[in-house]
Amino acid sequence: MKRKFDARPWLVLILIVALILLGWYAGQTFSPKQAAEATATEQPIVTIPLTGPLADRNAEVSGMAWYGDTLILMPQYPNFSSEYKGDGFLYALSKADIVTFLDGKNSEPLSPRAIPLNDAALVETIKDYQGFEAIVFSRDRIFLTIEAGEGTNMSGYLVSGKIESDLSAVTLDIDSMVEIPLQDQQDNKSDEAMLIVDNRILTFYEVNGAGLVPVHVANVFDFDLNFVETISFPTIEYRVTDAASSADGTAFWVINYFFPGDEDLKPASDPLAETFGLGPTHSQSETVERLVEMRYSEGGITLTDTPPVLLTLIPEDSRNWEGLALLDGRGFLMATDKFPETILAFVAMP
């Protein structure tokens, strides 16, 4: 008698194999981390060429901020271009000139205007002076942070002054200088970023990684440079090197940078990368060059849900971004110190 073929066992086997393959494929392709990496985008930079003293890599731009419609760039050592010890300079670019270049109406390098700064007498009063780190404006008032010290004996200072409306001079009030309480004592680390929010001056220590500092706080001063309080600051790996306010007055962005040689700042994990992904060039490098959005409230500072803006990295090198300003709703203006050279750049908002 001829046996009738029973297909049911084969169908069951095929179904089991299909389920196993589907589970493997889903696990390999659609894990949260890998999905984030696959979708994370990176923003290219548009270099804005400069001419004059600020184009020299020894300018070491360490901060910048808007004074009305003028972008003020601050060298770490304002007298870097002088052949003698003495007063230095800040440098200015008009928003109109920057926009004209970005809109393709001018392709020539921009020439920043030098603004005399009376910093020499101030520098002489600071032991182990290491230069200026951050700058902000409130009308004609200017506020700057200064780093000093050696090894694990570091200090930070805050000083105020006035800028002339015609950009003819910046005059610091040397007697106004106060010391900033540092979160920790780490080599070459101090409050490297600063903001004005709600008529208060906020200064941010550059290291805020998990386990790297005893507390995560921002320092708050009034406009007379009286210390008011500390408020909470989010845990964020690597370095925070500058900050810039958004249009709404409470949100702001910070530069978040990691140089692979800073082994002491290398974290066991990076929650922002795990949540939002690495992007094509970041997934192939230990360097981190990104902008992170935060929000201020009276209760403290928090990370927003906005994905970080990742910059497209360059091969075999890192750009130490230390200056940040927003350009209306278009994007970000950024500047490096001397590594790898002086770069002024525009990064479009994603």
Q: Which residues, in sequence order, are CB contacts of 244 under 8 Å at separation 6+?
A: 65, 195, 252, 253, 254, 324, 325, 326, 332
Across the range 26-32, mean pLDDT stands at 41
Residue 52 lies in a domain: no
d(CA 192, CA 179): 14
Residue 242 lies in a domain: yes
Min mean pLDDT across 83-87, 224-228, 282-286 is at: 83-87
Domain region containing 178: 60-348
Q: Per residue in 190-210, pLDDT tens? A: 999 999 999 999 999 999 999
Across the range 239-260, mean pLDDT stands at 95
Residue 96 lies in a domain: yes
Q: What's the N-to-C CA distance of the chain in angstroms?
A: 74
Count of Cβ atoms closer than 10 Å to residue 171 Cβ = 13
Residue 278 lies in a domain: yes
Q: Is the pLDDT of residue 217 over 70?
A: yes
Residue 15 lies in a domain: no
Let me know: does 130 contact 149? Beta carbons within 8 Å: yes
Across the range 137-166, mean pLDDT stands at 97
Q: Is the pLDDT of residue 139 over 70?
A: yes
The tally of domains found in the chain comes to 1
Q: Is the pLDDT of residue 291 over 50?
A: yes
Please give the torsion angle defined by the CA atoms of residues 68, 70, 72 and 73, in that order, rounded to the nearest 10 degrees: 140
Residue 50 lies in a domain: no
Q: Per residue in 307-321, pLDDT tens? A: 999 999 999 899 999
Q: Is the pLDDT of residue 29 over 50?
A: no
- What's the confidence (pLDDT) of residue 22? 46
Q: Sorting pLDDT into bands at 50, 70 and 90, what band is 26?
A: very low
Count of Cβ atoms closer than 10 Å to residue 123 Cβ = 20
Min mean pLDDT across 50-64, 75-89, 128-142, 248-262 is at: 75-89
- What's the confidence (pLDDT) of residue 66? 98
Residue 7 lies in a domain: no
Across the range 291-299, mean pLDDT stands at 95
Strands 61-67 and 70-75: antiparallel
Q: Sorting pLDDT into bands at 50, 70 and 90, what band is 248?
A: confident
Per-position DSSP letters for 83-136, written without gaps between them: SSSS-EEEEEEEHHHHHHHHTTS--SPB-PEEEEE--HHHHHTSTTEEEEEEEE
% of residues, the chain, pLDDT over 70:
88
Let me know: does 54 contact 73? Beta carbons within 8 Å: yes
Q: Per residue in 88-126, pLDDT tens? A: 999 999 999 999 999 999 999 999 999 999 999 999 999
The CATH code of the domain that includes 255 is 2.115.10.20
What burial class does residue 325 get, using C-beta atoms within 10 Å of its C-beta: 0-12 exposed, 13-18 middle, 19+ buried? buried
Min mean pLDDT across 6-15, 75-84, 127-136, 314-323 is at: 6-15
Residue 25 lies in a domain: no
- What's the confidence (pLDDT) of residue 16? 54
